Structure 1
Amino acid sequence: MDAVFAAPPSTTRLFPESLSLSAKQREVLDTLNGYPNGTGAAEISTVLGVHVNTVRGHLEELEEQGLVRVSSAPSGGRGRPTLVFQVRMPDVVGVAQEYLCLIKILVEAMEPEGEITREDHARARDIGRRWAQEVPSQLGDTDGHDNAIASLLMLFRQMGPDPLKQRAPHPVEESTAGTVIQLNACPLVKAGSQPSQFICAVHEAYLRETLDEQLKGKIRLTLFPRSARASCDIVAIPCSAHQCSTGVSTSAPSASA
């Protein structure tokens, strides 16, 4: 019988954020993370001041969830081998930096120098749409302007742009009927870098695909990439206060961006 080859599963399953851990389990996991080569339940028990059997129980639960691996080490005597527990979870920041570096290299390979063309914009929009279809994001309650804004803020918080609700009017969009959402971080660039036009076009298309249908007839969103205050801004205006047939539109970056 021929061997079946398969790649390892996604690293994301090892992120503790993807699992529902109790406060005590997380405390044990965080303590164990301070031992790169692993340690025994007795050591964790001493550090936390908790009975060793309690610690061992938490470690076994973490092992069942795939966040901890266990191996045996010689006891040095006639007793049973000592169980050594070691975390399997990766450094989330390190993984994110690796992904962002890969994104940067891929974009540089696709993006021409200087201004991007219509064809480049079309390709970026196609990538953004496909990305949104691959990882759909569902808004919460969108009935009523305040509920829709709260749902948008929650979605953007989960996505990583560090949203901040501001009062209208926006420096460019002068309507006072809506709400300004200031996005203060870009989840698609490394620290100290600026997103390229291509990346911005991809992200814009992702937002369009994600939000258009969910907000159609309720809110008109206008995107302002690269504002003068080093943020990307979104102005959300209720359709009751503005005639709108589409969910998301885009304004060109300001001259001071």
Structure 2
Amino acid sequence: MTDETSHGALASASRRRVLDALRAAAGPLDARELAAATGLHANTVRFHLDVLARAGFVTESAAPVGGRGRPRITYSSATPAAGGGYELLAEILAAGIEAGGGAEPAGRAWAEGAPAQGFDDAEARTMALFTELGFDPRRAGDGGIELHACPFLAVARRHPGVVCNVHLGLLRATVEGAADATLTPFARPGVCLARLSATR
């Protein structure tokens, strides 16, 4: 199978509709069921299924029949839907960390550097860190730091115990020695809240 075969299999909007219907289904579907789900003619669906199967996106199997006649041929998606390079990679890593634990230490390890020089430096580093990561941080009126526009929002909603704890680890490593830090995920819709308090 060449790259052109894979890309060509997804070049048709109708073919992608067939594949999406298979991915959304609770189990294998036959051509007639897919025709009903997509609004396409059954012969058109069979043509698309053949192309998708040759490209490796779809598997087919013979379902047993209760009497005489040919077995019912059903189809299933052979590949998961991928939202894009970053999102797929983040999803895989988040699921792996979630299974094995250690999200906050992973964030700490990535952000470790020279200790902050006092509370003001810790606060400035926090603003710089989350600005560079794309969070659009803003100082809240009560002394907290609101984190808007999380670039990992889709994955964070599915794996908050991983993504948010990685961010907590980043935050704590950034302010270590000068401040203690907490992070409240989704303190408001779409906004997380970081709080720093001077180390005693």
Q: Which has the higher helix share?
A: 2
TM-score w.r.t. the length of structure 2 is 0.47
Higher relative contact order (Cα pairs below 8 Å, separated by 6+ residues)? 2
Q: Structure 1 length normalisation: TM-score?
A: 0.38
